[in-house]
Structure 1
């Protein structure tokens, strides 16, 4: 009897800890809609002098379609050229196990918006877009950390080396980019 109580307690703790891992920014389920959105995760940061480059991901499930929201933020005292995404854009990940995984764009043409920070006298560019997983690459992302990411923008490619851990200077937070999919894809299935 004690063994059964112990196993039941252990199962309850394990199931609670698994749910705790899936913290949602937004979740809604109705008769016609099912949406799960995880909080933004920083996957890349470069701070050099007065320039900052950040890439953030938001994992979401929109009516059964696992999707990734990507936001590229650039800040500099110098002019920042626009970045654009279109239906031909892709995100390509090189995994530590040697596999290559490609995500496909759901964007029509969208370009980064330009703003100005009066206080720091800096230009700011923000680009947001969405990409979807394919069946044959989805499982690979759950098995291996990411070492490199390439975003194919309109007219240019940018490569980003993803670290195991980022202690963000800009956000004062800690993130784990290389294992983002291994840790969080289960939350949007």
Structure 2
């Protein structure tokens, strides 16, 4: 009987320790409603021959409407080609269970900004907000994301997700496949 209680205690402790803590960046309630935003997490990093691409996600809830705030940084010593979001832009997330979740862009047309740093490196930054439909995100709570396709204005780019990686940028460990499993609970009301 002692072994059963010990095993149950050990299992409960492991489950509690395995859950990621919620890191909320913004949490506002006022006369207009409520807005909650998680801290940004890197979900994609590619670096090759002096060119790099980093994609960050942050989950938001604006009066109960769940959204995904994305930011893409593309850097190079050469010119960085612009990618743009328009009214037809979408993010497609392919899950490990075979389902595909579609998120719709809800902002103004933008091609981001081009910035030149002190080392003469060009960096293009583009940010956008994509929203979930009311019921299309439930599978994200239980199934890892294996692949992302972004439909920009004029082109579509695919991004495979890794189970985990240590970023060259900040030397932190990220788990993109389980991002939604770990953090969707943080913004649900």
Shift in alpha-carbon separation, 1:20–1:103, aligned structure 2, 3 A: closer
> C-alpha separation between the residues in 2 aligned to 1:159 and 1:76?
20
Q: State TM-score, norm by structure 1.
A: 0.87
> C-alpha separation between the residues in 1 aligned to 2:151 and 2:20?
34
Residue 18 of structure 1 and its aligned partner are, at CA, apart by 10
> C-alpha separation between the residues in 1 aligned to 2:19 and 2:36?
14
Residue pair 2:57, 2:70 contacting (<8 A) in 1 also: yes
The residue correspondences of 1:95-114 to structure 2 (distance < 5 A) are 95-114=95-114
Runs of 5+ in structure 1 lacking a partner? Answer: 1-12
Q: Does 1:186 align with 2:185?
A: yes
Q: How many residues align?
A: 175
Q: Does 1:173 align with 2:172?
A: yes
Alignment match, 2:93: 93
Which portions of structure 1, spanning 4 or more consecutive aligned residues, are displaced by more than 3 angstroms? 16-20
Runs of 5+ in structure 2 lacking a partner? Answer: 1-12
> C-alpha separation between the residues in 1 aligned to 2:176 and 2:54?
12
Q: State TM-score, norm by structure 2.
A: 0.87
Residue 17 of structure 1 and its aligned partner are, at CA, apart by 7.5
Structure with greater helix percent: 1
Residue pair 2:20, 2:183 contacting (<8 A) in 1 also: no
Which is further off, 16-25 or 135-144? 16-25
RMSD: 2.0
